[in-house]
């Protein structure tokens, strides 16, 4: 089900908060993939949500964020998690796996970069350093001057 591909990260996390806060007042199943529900919003407003799990962008909500637009809002996400509570763990596990994957990628890239730096010649390293001073923020140059030039 592609609801997470259609929703912004913000809507997903806020929707999860709404689910945990039991903001979904009631819902009913309309057919195999559509649900209708009432979700408590901020300022004691109740929003009417039509959740289409097959075509998430056809979902509807009368909140200011989603009304008249083809976006997935936090109320739709809250309703989705209420109808499919098992999806909460699956979603959180997926996020965790992605962040582990990303951390591994960053670690690998760092090791690759260090290996490459050790192979660079003196003139290549000098050119790279000057390039960093040219494009980097001022503090990098200032820090270099303080650490390696002024007090030597």
Q: Which residues bind to Zn ion, rule: CB under 5 A?
A: 61, 63, 66, 73, 75
Hey, what are 145's tokens?
Answer: 């001057």
Q: CB 59 → Zn ion: shortest distance, Å?
A: 9
Nearer to Zn ion, 9 or 137 (CB): 9
Q: CB 14 → Zn ion: shortest distance, Å?
A: 10
How many C-beta neighbours within 10 Å does residue 126 have?
11
Q: CB 35 → Zn ion: shortest distance, Å?
A: 14
Q: CB 82 → Zn ion: shortest distance, Å?
A: 14
Write out 71-132 in H/E/C secondary structure.
Answer: CECHHHHHHHHHHCCHHHHHHHHHHHHHHHHHHHHHHHHHHHHHHHHHHCCHHHHHHHHHHH
CA 19 to chain centre: 18
């Amino acid at each position: 089900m592609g609801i997470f591909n259609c929703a912004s990260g913000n809507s997903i996390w806020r929707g999860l908060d709404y689910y945990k806060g039991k903001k979904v007042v009631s819902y009913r199943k309309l057919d195999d993939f559509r649900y209708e529900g009432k979700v408590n919003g901020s300022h004691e407003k109740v929003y009417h949500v039509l959740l289409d799990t097959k075509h998430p962008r056809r979902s509807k909500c009368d909140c200011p964020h989603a009304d008249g637009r083809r976006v997935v809002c936090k109320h739709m996400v809250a309703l989705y998690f209420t109808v499919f509570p098992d999806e909460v763990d699956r979603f959180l596990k997926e996020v965790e796996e992605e962040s582990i994957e990303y951390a591994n990628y960053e670690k690998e890239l760092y090791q690759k970069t260090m290996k490459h730096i050790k192979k660079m010649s003196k003139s290549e390293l000098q050119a790279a350093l000057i390039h960093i001073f040219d494009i980097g923020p001022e503090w990098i140059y200032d820090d270099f001057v303080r650490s390696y030039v002024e007090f030597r």
